[in-house]
A and B are shown apart, each in its own frame.
Chain A
Amino acid sequence: MASCSSCCQHVATPGVGGFAAASRRETRAAGVQVVGAGRLQLKKGAVCGEELFRGQSLQGLQRRVRRSGGSVAVSANALAAQLQEERAEKPSEARVILEVQGLRAVVADTRQEILNGVDLVIREGEVHAIMGKNGSGKSTLSKVLVGHPDYEVTGGTAMFKGENLFDKEPEERSHCGLFLSFQSPVEIPGVSNMDFLRMACNARRKARSLEELGPLEFYGFVAEKLGALNMDPKFLDRNVNEGFSGGEKKRNEILQLSVLEADMAILDEIDSGLDIDALRDVATAVVGLKKENNAILMITHYQRLLDYITPTYVHIMEEGRIVKTGDMSLASQLEAGGYNAVQNLIAKN
């Protein structure tokens, strides 16, 4: 469920933390609960670029509202009314799960800028793919979204199911149903996979007010998930990722995803390091986890993964921004002509 707090944040100060926080509080005090900007954006059609354009114009509208002298709470109310109206017009549109606007981030230690204004909107039921050269910021984007402490957000917003991600601790983002499959998962010597998975599972269950699973119940639960992934149960006794092959680590990430039953999965190069059978297993498992009300964001360098899991949108990232959005054909173009071909395309536009 989206609330209008995102709007308010734009209204206040896109990117300046202190102000944004203040306005959020006010909004909450005003008790406004409305459907988010995403649905509004959809009016213009299905192409992401346009949505983003629409998003910007929304921001402009909000600024105008602010300039016209109303308090944040007032402007929120005004917007709420407008949004309600638009929802009525488009009742069949899928809800927005993730909405990223103007996201900028730096490496916390060095202040090196990595993300330079990323815009992205993902709705329930959609599969998005991000492609882009090495070092273009794909992994950084995914890590920033889940709250990695190496990075600091310096501008923009990220709303997940209507709530501001940057208000939340990393574990809270997970409890909300956001999941990142890491490009390079860390090894944790001394902690068994079984204990780790059960802790994670129970943390999520607790956050959803479900009863925690005991070791035996959990074993039953996880055994089924293992089967679906063609994974040997002996993986449960091994330490988390310790001594796992590259492919085993990736499978283990997907196992975690299936145990956590996340609503939005970001899969960072889930296909790299996998042999042909493993790629099929992992892709099949991901397709199996796909539902009407969840979404997937895949980061990949190759079309082969997309052949298994057809994306609704394909984005190309360059120097910390999304510079082009299209459909599956964009991936084919890339595969055929490399980034230069696509670059020319962008230049022509």
Chain B
Amino acid sequence: MAMAVAAVGAAVAMAGTLRQSAVAPLRVKAVVPAVRFRGAVKLGVGTRASVAGAVKAEESGSGSGSLRDQAEASFSLSKDVAGPDFFILDLAEKLENSVEAEQQGETLGSRALANLRDRSAEKALNSRWPTSKDEAYRFTDVRFLKNLDISPTPTHSVATPDFASGLGLDETETFRLVFVDGVISESLSKVDGLADGAYVGSICKISAENAGSSLSQALEHLGKPAAGTQDDLFTFLNGLGVQDAGVIFAPEGVHIAKPIHVVYYSTGRGGSKHGEEGGTAISLASPRLLVVAETGARVEIIEQFVGAPDQTYWTNTVCEIHIADGAEVSHSCSQEQDRGSVHIKQTQVSQGEKSTYKLVEAEIGGRLSRHNLQVIQLGPETQTEFSTFSLSSQRQVQDLHSRLVLNHPRGISRQLHKCIVTHRSGQAVFDGNVKVNRYAQQTDAGQLSRSLLLAQGATVNVKPNLQIIADDVKCTHGAAISDLEEDQLFYFQARGIDALTARSALVFSFAADVLQSLGNDSLQKRLEGLVKSSLASDGVVNPNVPVGL
């Protein structure tokens, strides 16, 4: 077995100065941001949009003039001398045209969606395509998308693809909500037996007649994240191209009995096949999910991103989660899309007083996978947990930008991010921002990131950044870019297990550490299997090592 394990010579770029593997507890007493690493400026995402925000926000109905007119009008008012970005303009036009007339429908939900499209169009047109000069995209190249021929996936009725059996989750243990190319498939979704007043389904099916007042109110949240959430271009592009949205609604005090398994399948129709001569066509789907948990409600969501093999597609998705006081949302996310696909995701969470949000995520698919995760605290005593894992193999970029904003006292947060890069052309990016504002006294925030580089020349860019303004807080952080732990390796050897087997077990367990926090056994097994086979095919673990599974 060829086992490239040395971290030696791997390109390591860290914006911060910490390279120690120990977790350094910091007790900060300072008014100015006490822990601030070089380059940890305010996330630059969407800043351009706000500069150009001098544009008057017209309430343009769906029937108003063409996007190009709108854009040109906007920019004539704008101070941005560079003018509109014509690439975005073209894309926006394609996205707008992709929304079919019947989807402009008349239900309460459809109207909310149409409204979102209008608002997003305006913001998208005032944005610019991110480059490496934007802090948020400093390490992550999204320019290549501009060289592709992007077209929205046609959603007119075609045979429903048969993938449900291959998802690894038993359909009896969950409710199921299935998107195909951003549109909810009624036939594949299974939501029978939901509690009274709860709703899981397409937003378009929500009408003024059938929705109670609380569900109608919940729709108000669509496209309106908590104040302080930073937008970026891709959020707007989603809002502009969104064809349908899933709604998960748990009314006050309701505990939804089974997890809700949300499947996103991309067919890649209209995109090139892999290896196709001169194939630059990429098929874009824009699915969106809105989750509202009312006071004291409890919901478990499992998001799973999959797609047709060997097809070139881009899933540009947004998930908005609003957690009211005392409510609990646990969220698992598994991104297993094709290695040639592009995956860009926004998760925007707001948390009321004494609420809990837990995220466990595994990002293993995609050629580019970018996740912007933002949590804004709206009241005191919240609990927030992120456990995330990413795997970057050959020509894969896995990027997590997380941002947690604490504005109220006694919040508790725990964050663990782990990534493995197994190939010299692989890259992992982590930017973990935790902002503890003036009134967030007695916050207890912990962040730990560990990166494992298993090939010469593999790249990881890690930027943990804590900004602490409150003076009575407990914050710990640590970032380690390392080979395996010597002491752990030795422990295996001392028990008779040879170094190669020990390494395999430790590499695998590095990932399993996060995967084990997934609340669902079937999903855990599935992901352990996917991770193991990917590691094995890259020659960094011996597939016969009897750990996990």
Contact = CB atoms under 8 A, between A and B. Distances in A.
Interface of A: 146-149, 169-171, 173-175, 180, 182, 185-186, 188-192, 195-196, 198-200, 203-204, 207, 215, 239-240, 256, 260
Contact of A186 (B491, B512, B516): B491
Contacts of A147: 493-494
B456 interface: no
Contact of A195 (B485, B490, B547): B547
Nearest to B509: A190
Given A170-B493, A175-B496, A260-B496, A199 B487 contact: no
B499 interface: yes
Interface in B487-540: 487-488, 490-499, 501, 505-506, 508-513, 516
Contact residues of B: prevailing secondary structure: helix
A175 B511 CA distance: 29
A235 B506 CA distance: 19
B65 interface: no
B493 A171 contact: yes
Contacts of A199: 492, 495, 497, 501, 505, 545-547
Contact of A174 (B487, B488, B493, B508): B493
A169 B491 contact: no
Which among B488, B493, B496, B508 has the greatest number of chain A C-beta atoms within 10 A?
A: B496
Contact of B486 (A149, A180, A191): A149
A148 B489 CA distance: 10
Given A149-B490, A186-B488, A203 B497 contact: yes
Contacts, number: 91
Given A171-B499, A199-B547, A190 B512 contact: yes
Contacts of A175: 496
A147 B499 CA distance: 13
Nearest to B493: A170
Contact of A191 (B490, B493, B494, B512): B512
Given A195-B547, A199-B505, A188 B496 contact: no
Nearest to B507: A190
Given A191-B505, A195-B505, 5 more contacts: A169-B499, A171-B496, A174-B495, A192-B548, A195-B546
Given A186-B487, A190-B516, A199-B505, A207 B496 contact: yes
16 contacts: A148-B494, A169-B493, A188-B488, A189-B509, A189-B513, A190-B511, A190-B512, A190-B516, A195-B505, A195-B546, A196-B547, A199-B546, A200-B495, A203-B495, A203-B497, A239-B516
Given A186-B487, A190-B512, A260 B548 contact: no
A200 B511 contact: no
Contacts of B546: 195, 198-199, 215
A190 B513 contact: yes
A146 B516 CA distance: 32
B532 to A, nearest CB: 12
Nearest to B545: A199
Interface string B445-488: 00000000000000000000000000000000000000001111
Contacts of A188: 488, 491, 506, 509
Nearest to B495: A200
Nearest to A205: B496
A188 B506 CA distance: 8
A203 B496 contact: yes
Given A188-B509, A190-B513, A191-B512, A170 B547 contact: no
A204 B496 contact: yes
A196 B511 contact: no
Contacts of A196: 492, 495, 505, 547
Contacts of A180: 494
Which among A180, A182, A190, A191 has the greatest number of chain B C-beta atoms within 10 A?
A: A190
A199 B505 CA distance: 10
B499 to A, nearest CB: 7
A186 B548 CA distance: 19
Contacts of B490: 148-149, 170
Nearest to B491: A186
A34 to B, nearest CB: 28
A188 B508 CA distance: 11
Which among A146, A149, A171, A185 has the greatest number of chain B C-beta atoms within 10 A?
A: A171
A198 to B, nearest CB: 6
Contacts of B505: 191, 195-196, 199
Contacts of B492: 171, 196, 199-200
A171 B498 contact: yes
**In the A-B complex, the 5 residue pairs with the closest CB atoms:** A190-B509, A174-B496, A190-B512, A190-B513, A170-B493
A43 to B, nearest CB: 35
A190 B416 CA distance: 14
Given A186-B488, A190-B516, A198-B546, A256 B509 contact: no
Contacts of A186: 485, 487-488, 491
A203 B486 CA distance: 20
A174 B509 CA distance: 23
A95 B496 CA distance: 24
Contacts of B485: 186
Contacts of B513: 189-190
Contacts of A256: 495
B494 to A, nearest CB: 5
Given A191-B505, A195-B546, A198-B546, A171 B497 contact: yes
A269 to B, nearest CB: 16
Contacts of B545: 199
A113 B486 CA distance: 21
Nearest to A262: B496
A204 B493 CA distance: 11
Contacts of A215: 546
Contact of B494 (A170, A192, A207): A170
A151 B492 CA distance: 17
Contacts of B487: 186
Contacts of A149: 486, 490
A324 to B, nearest CB: 29
A1 B501 CA distance: 29
Contacts of A260: 495-496
B382 to A, nearest CB: 25
